A and B are shown apart, each in its own frame.
Chain A
Amino acid sequence: MFLTMKVAFRNISRQKKRSFLLAGAIAFGMMVITLMNALTGGAVINIRDNFSHALGGHVFITGREWTEAGQMIMKIRPDANLDRLLEENARQIEAFTRRSQAMPSLIFGSQQTMHLLYGVDFSEEDRLIDSLVVVEGSLAELGKRDDIIVLPEPVAERLGVEVGETVLIRLETLTGQQNVGEARVAAFIKDQEELGLSAAYTSRANLNSLLGMEPHEYQILNMFVTDLDLVDQFARTFREGLLSPEEAEEAEDEPEVTVTVAGMPIDPGTRTQEVTPWEGTRYQVMNINQIMEAVELVVGVLNRVGLVIFLILLVVTMVGITNTFRMIMIERTKEIGTMRAFGMQQKQVKRIFLWEAVLLGLLGCLGGLVIAGVIALAVGSVSLNTDPSLQFFLNNGRITFSLPLQDVAVNVALVILTSLLAAYWPARAAAKMSPMKALSSHT
Chain B
Amino acid sequence: MAIVELESVKKVYTLGKAEVHAVRGVTFSIEKGDFASIVGPSGSGKSTILNMIGCIDQPTEGIVRINGTVTGGLKDKELTKLRHETLGFIFQSFNLIPVLNVYENIEFPLLLGKNRRSRKETREWIEFLIEAVGLADHMHHKSNELSGGQRQRVAIARALVTKPEIVLADEPTANLDSKTGQSIIELMKKMNSELNTTFIFSTHDRSIMEIADHVIQLLDGLIVEDSKTKAEAGSIS
Contact = CB atoms under 8 A, between A and B. Distances in A.
A346 B112 contact: no
- Count chain A CB atoms within 10 A of each CB in B77, B88, B95, B98 and give the residue with the most: B95
Contacts of B40: none
Interface stretch (B79-87, B146-154, B203-211, B217-225): B79-87
A11 interface: yes
Interface in A1-25: 2-3, 7, 10-11, 13-14
A75 interface: no
Interface stretch (A162-170, A299-307, A332-340): A332-340
A372 to B, nearest CB: 31
A345 B54 contact: no
A11 B98 CA distance: 9
Nearest to B158: A342
Nearest to B107: A3
A370 interface: no
Contacts of A10: 99-100
A335 B97 contact: yes
Given A3-B111, A3-B112, A345 B100 contact: no
A340 B51 CA distance: 13
B102 to A, nearest CB: 14
Interface residues of A, number: 24
A251 interface: no
A337 to B, nearest CB: 8
A343 B85 contact: yes
B41 interface: no
Contact of A7 (B51, B81, B91, B99): B99
A439 interface: yes
Contacts of A180: none
B220 to A, nearest CB: 20
A435 interface: yes
A436 interface: yes
Interface residues of B, number: 27
Interface in A317-368: 334-335, 337-346, 348
A51 B116 CA distance: 68
Interface in B195-237: none
A338 B100 CA distance: 13
Contacts, number: 67
Nearest to A340: B80
Nearest to B88: A342
Interface of A is mostly: helix
B56 interface: yes
B57 interface: yes
Interface string A412-443: 00000000000000000000001110010000
- Count chain B CB atoms within 10 A of each CB in A10, A342, A344, A439 and give the residue with the most: A342
A14 B85 contact: no
Contacts of A340: 56, 80
Interface in B33-80: 51, 54, 56-57, 76-77, 80
Interface string B98-112: 111000000011011
Contacts of B109: 342-343
Contact of A436 (B56, B84, B91): B56
30 contacts: A3-B111, A7-B97, A7-B100, A10-B99, A11-B99, A14-B99, A334-B95, A337-B56, A337-B95, A338-B89, A338-B91, A338-B95, A338-B97, A340-B80, A341-B54, A341-B89, A342-B88, A342-B108, A342-B109, A342-B112, A342-B158, A343-B109, A343-B162, A345-B77, A346-B77, A346-B80, A435-B56, A436-B56, A439-B56, A439-B95
Interface of B: 51, 54, 56-57, 76-77, 80-81, 83-85, 88-89, 91, 93, 95, 97-100, 108-109, 111-113, 158, 162
Interface of A: 2-3, 7, 10-11, 13-14, 334-335, 337-346, 348, 434-436, 439
The 8 closest A-B pairs by CB, nearest first: A343-B84, A10-B99, A338-B95, A435-B56, A3-B111, A342-B109, A436-B57, A436-B56
